[in-house]
Structure 1
Amino acid sequence: MKENKGHISKIIQKFLSGQLTAEEQKQLDVWLNLSMQNRKLLESFRQAKNIEEDLFVVRKLDANKAWNKLNNKHRTGIKSIRKWSFGIAASITFLVGSFVVWRTEFVAGIPKERPVLAEQKQDIAPATSGAILVLADGTKIALNNDSTKILTKNNNLVGNNNELIVKGTGQTIPVQYNSLIVPKASFYKMTLVDGTKVWVNALSQLKFPAQFSKIERRVFLDGEAYFEVAHNPNQPFIVESKGNEIKVLGTHFNVNSYTAQVRTTLAEGKVEVRRNNQHVELSPGEYVWSSTDNLIKGEADLQRDLSWHNNEFYFKKETIVDIAHQLSRWYDLDVKFRGNVQLDKEYTGSIERDVKLSQVLEMLSYVSNLKFEVDGRKLIIETKS
């Protein structure tokens, strides 16, 4: 196994530089005939810049190093690399975990077609901007291009399908909470009355007042949101979520409370997380997990924790269950597992979130032994036969 490590990447490198021998061309043809994904992967290299750097990553066949190098590089804005970073990094993980099987097929020279997807009856588009506003009196308003007309009675609210803005009235009014509800397959941005910007993820709810009290700025979150808090040392900003209080003065942070365990990740500034009689202060690049009895602080993977805000699926050692939860929220799916799917196996990779479901499933199918069937809004996951 050791002497063949990275063998195909060397052949690809020679192919791209026009230096293949006749024998190596035959070996490349065998590999290309194994699956459509291999051909697409080769084409992504041909269209990408900095190919030499990519091939160095593949030669190493080290999933963690490959992941770091590819994702550090895609920050430079090379779209072709970013789009295929899932395929490259995740296929490296697959090769490391299943190299003996891959080597047997390659050395034997037997083209073995890998099934990709079960036949799809239709494709599903990614999430779009949209939300429902529930006013303090119970009135429900779908936020779209017509909502500004509907909101004219509430002269401190302006909203459409892209953003809701809360404007100050200059008058002292009782603190009454409105609710912003973001359903599955949606996301939404809003600006609070103090200038704080909030990006709310799918299947989430944010309760906020039309005007904050004089002593604090308090909102309530169920789900996930990213906050850029306007600085005001005299009026602390507090996010309350499932028994946790995240207190800040002015900072950028993410709160994920989809489950009973709330994860707060700090990008800039400083926050204090309180639960019962415990409290933890975070510095940039740190996170805290809070459960019923504990607050646990650690070093965060900012790209992973903030990936949804950066329009990216970022899977790093994620199980298919974790991935299925994300797909369910983003594409409004009912996910079912069929047969003996290995639920604890981990996958690594990234792909932009503004792609259709079929593109994500194609990548997942390529790096796993899983088959995906889409029927309406139902996604069935099973092991390939």
Structure 2
Amino acid sequence: MKDIERKCLQFVLRYYKPGAWDTQKAIRRFEQKNGIAPKSNRRIYWYSGVAAAILFFIVSGIYLYNMNTNANNDWMRLVADNSVRAYTLPDSTVVTLFPHSFLSYQPAVFAHKKRRVNMSGKIYFVVKRDEKLPFEVDGSFAHVKVLGTCFQVAESSSSAEVCVVSGKVLFTAKDQEEGVILTKGMGAELVYGEKMPSLSTTGTINQTAWATGLFIFDNTPLSTVLKELSDYYHVQLTCDETDKKLSSQFDTDSLDEIINLIENVMDVKIQKR
């Protein structure tokens, strides 16, 4: 008898379909298939009870699984609309979003299982160092992996650029293992469709001035200084004496103040148009 009951349970499990379950039909189908004469109502009720119990555990299991899966799959989305926005992530990493950029992560697993974020646009990262949990950034086709550093990722539909202010990062195409390692002052660009980023030959640190509020010049030719300031403030700065070099830091608050400081320190005259 136990063998028959075991077969019955196996049959119920095999043919169970959500939304189309009828315990009485299932029992009759099992009895017909195995040449068993119909039993008393008591035995039918027993089978029905077993089937109902099995159904309860199956449905409960599916429900709990879905609840757990949904909890783990929920994404937190951080957005910058028309202005720069800064956020602190659960691991104390600070992200500064350029206007119309966004970043998303999974709070249920972030900071203790997987420090991974998705992004679009341009974002400056100051990552909290954790050697056991590397910080990873996914764009639409670029990937960056770090331990702890300050860097910027800027991605458009045609290319992705990474520049490093401090520390070290690995910059690869998405789903690729080989890439380029970038350290302080280095930058690289990945063109959409390519498998390997290429190193950038232009200055990179002051590309993050919008997020840090600071310009950094280290023995920089005055011609380069004026070009970076012109690009940032959308003006044209020129000077007749461009062979001089500048080592200094300036807040981004006032261009006129920066010009006055450079003119006084370097004894030059700067024209602004």
Letter in 1 for 2:164: L
> What is the aligned counterpart of 2:91 among 182, 186, 194?
194
| Structure 2 residue aligned with 1:308 | 210
| Structure 1 residue aligned with 2:103 | 206
User: Are 2:187 and 1:287 equivalent residues in the alignment?
Assistant: yes
Which deviations, in whole Å up to 9, do the C-alpha atoms of 1:238-284 show, x marking residues without a partner?
A: 11113101001111111122463211111222110110544111122
Q: Counterparts of 2:168 and 2:140 in 1: how far apart (Å)?
A: 21
Secondary structure of 1:307 counterpart: helix
Q: Deviation at 1:230?
A: 1.3
Report if the CA contact (8 A) 1:248-1:270 is conserved.
yes
Q: Counterparts of 1:193 and 1:227 in 2: how far apart (Å)?
A: 14
Q: Deviation at 1:353?
A: 4.9
| Structure 2 residue aligned with 1:246 | 144
Letter in 2 for 1:193: P
| Structure 1 residue aligned with 2:272 | 367
Instruction: List alignment gaps of at least 5 residues for structure 1.
Output: 1-172, 328-344, 360-365, 369-385
Q: Counterparts of 1:275 and 1:187 in 2: how far apart (Å)?
A: 27
Alpha-carbon RMSD across the aligned residues, in angstroms, is 3.8
| Structure 2 residue aligned with 1:297 | 199
Q: Counterparts of 1:209 and 1:348 in 2: how far apart (Å)?
A: 48
Letter in 1 for 2:272: V
Report if the CA contact (8 A) 1:252-1:269 is conserved.
yes
Q: Counterparts of 1:201 and 1:302 in 2: how far apart (Å)?
A: 16
| Structure 1 residue aligned with 2:121 | 223
Secondary structure of 2:124 counterpart: strand
4+ long deviations beyond 3 Å: 312-320, 345-356
Distance 1:319 1:304, change over 3 A: closer
Q: Counterparts of 2:149 and 2:89 in 1: how far apart (Å)?
A: 15
Distance 1:227 1:255, change over 3 A: same
Report if the CA contact (8 A) 1:182-1:205 is conserved.
yes
Report if the CA contact (8 A) 1:195-1:230 is conserved.
yes
Q: Counterparts of 1:250 and 1:209 in 2: how far apart (Å)?
A: 20
Q: Counterparts of 1:316 and 1:262 in 2: how far apart (Å)?
A: 25
Distance 1:302 1:291, change over 3 A: closer
Q: Counterparts of 2:215 and 2:184 in 1: how far apart (Å)?
A: 22
Count of residue correspondences: 171
TM-score normalized by the length of structure 2: 0.51
Identity level (%): 23
| Structure 1 residue aligned with 2:172 | 274
Distance 1:348 1:211, change over 3 A: farther
Instruction: List alignment gaps of at least 5 residues for structure 2.
Output: 1-70, 217-224, 240-248, 258-270
Secondary structure of 1:285 counterpart: coil
Letter in 1 for 2:181: E
Q: Counterparts of 1:216 and 1:188 in 2: how far apart (Å)?
A: 24
Q: Deviation at 1:208?
A: 2.3
Distance 1:228 1:312, change over 3 A: closer
Q: Which has the higher contact order (CA 8 A, sep 6+)?
A: 1
